[in-house]
């Protein structure tokens, strides 16, 4: 297994490391660059220094992760149709994010994909994955046991999967926004699930996870503060869906509530902020998502990254330790 893991890491890293400079050069040469929150309007901080930075970098680590997984499967003669779950999850949500990014980058629309069409596209993607999961009878430990006694349990199961994929893809999207932050957090989460996969003899999951880890390591070289490229919604939504399918494939989906605790808290902070402000016109947090509150307080992106990465490292280490024990 060690050779498969090393191969997945190395191939994912090399493909992404080779592809990212080409994407940066292409977007820059065409004058197509990421339109970030400019001036002092974004979260109350001056983000004008990010103007002119290419976006859509998620395309590189999505493709490099999948190519690396398929190459390692071929080299080590691993044959499993379950790879379809990872491919569909990564590509479908990545495609939605790519459309959103393309509207911003190529058509210079600040809003990108409008909320309702984007949500509908996410639900369709989640429904596609859910249909495949239910059709092949993947063991389900997502819902609470007492739901199984319901006559229409399959419908409850279907709704849970829809919420699961849409929720986690958006949760990852909320965390993105500070150079290197989501890349570092996601890297640790996929590494954690990869280690658990070794313990559970889930070879396909291990190869996929470490292909993602290798690809994200290469991407991080270009995305660390000050970033040369952003992942865009393409990357963040794919990573969220990848985490969701990992937890389901492990047959313990609720583990993602622990490993993805930062993503969950970030999402909750946004929900609380929006609801309380809507009804009472009061802000609970200086800014939501939470990482931008630190940014508004004057913290550097490296300092914010270091704090969140350290927390995620501790979360991952505890999760892996508890699982193995």
Which string of DSSP letters, residue by residue, matches 20-34?
A: HHHHHHHHHHTT---
Q: What are the pLDDT digits (tens) for 177-189?
A: 899 999 999 999 9
Name the band, by pLDDT with cuts 50, 70 and 90, for residue 154: confident
Name the band, by pLDDT with cuts 50, 70 and 90, for residue 42: low
Take residue 226 and report the two structure tokens written for it: 């000050």
Closest CA to 93 of 233, 300, 253: 233
CA angle 86, 88, 89 (to 5 degrees): 65
φ and ψ at residue 130, rounded to 5 degrees: -65, -45
What distances in angstroms separate CA 71 from CA 16, 63, 203, 204, one per listed residue?
A: 14, 12, 14, 12
pLDDT value of position 110: 65
pLDDT value of position 83: 87
Between CA 50 and CA 180 the distance in angstroms is 13
**Among 27-36, 131-140, 312-321, the range of highest mean pLDDT:** 312-321
How would DSSP label each residue in 228-257? S---HHHHHHHHHHHHHHHHHHTT-GGGHH
Q: Which residue's structure tokens are 């930062």?
A: 262
Q: What are the pLDDT digits (tens) for 244-271?
A: 999 988 888 889 999 999 999 999 999 9
**Per-residue pLDDT at 241 exceeds 60:** yes
Q: What are the pLDDT digits (tens) for 308-325?
A: 999 999 999 999 999 987
Q: What is the mean pLDDT of the chain?
A: 88
Between CA 208 and CA 119 the distance in angstroms is 27
pLDDT value of position 14: 98
Between CA 293 and CA 45 the distance in angstroms is 10
Name the band, by pLDDT with cuts 50, 70 and 90, for residue 146: low
**Per-residue pLDDT at 37 exceeds 70:** no
């Amino acid at each position: 297994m060690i050779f498969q893991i090393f191969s997945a890491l190395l191939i994912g890293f090399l493909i992404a490391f080779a592809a990212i400079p080409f994407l940066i050069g292409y977007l820059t040469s065409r004058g197509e660059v990421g339109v970030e929150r400019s001036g002092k309007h974004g979260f109350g901080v001056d983000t004008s220094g990010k103007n002119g930075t290419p976006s859509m970098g998620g395309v590189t680590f999505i493709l490099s992760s999948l190519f690396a997984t398929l190459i390692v499967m071929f080299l080590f003669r691993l044959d499993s149709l379950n790879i379809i779950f990872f491919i569909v999850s990564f590509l479908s949500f990545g495609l939605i994010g790519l459309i959103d990014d393309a509207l911003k980058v190529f058509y210079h629309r600040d809003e990108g994909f409008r909320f309702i069409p984007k949500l509908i596209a996410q639900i369709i993607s989640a429904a596609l994955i859910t249909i495949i999961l239910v059709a092949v009878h993947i063991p389900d430990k997502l819902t609470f046991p007492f739901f199984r006694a319901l006559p229409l349990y399959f419908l409850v199961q279907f709704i849970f999967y829809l919420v699961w994929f849409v929720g986690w893809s958006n949760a990852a999207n909320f965390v993105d926004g500070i150079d290197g932050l989501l890349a570092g957090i996601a890297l640790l989460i996929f590494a954690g699930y990869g280690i658990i996969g070794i313990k559970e003899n889930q070879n396909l999951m291990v190869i996929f996870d470490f292909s993602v880890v290798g690809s994200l390591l290469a991407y991080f070289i270009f995305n660390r503060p000050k970033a040369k490229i952003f992942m865009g919604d393409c990357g963040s939504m794919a990573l969220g869906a990848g985490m969701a399918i990992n937890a389901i494939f492990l047959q313990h989906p609720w583990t993602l509530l622990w490993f993805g605790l930062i993503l969950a808290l970030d999402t909750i902070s946004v929900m609380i902020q929006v609801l309380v402000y809507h009804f009472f016109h009061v802000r609970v947090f200086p800014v939501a998502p939470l990482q931008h509150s630190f940014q508004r307080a004057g913290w550097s992106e490296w300092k914010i990254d270091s704090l969140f990465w350290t927390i995620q490292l501790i979360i991952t280490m505890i999760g892996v330790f508890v699982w193995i024990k």
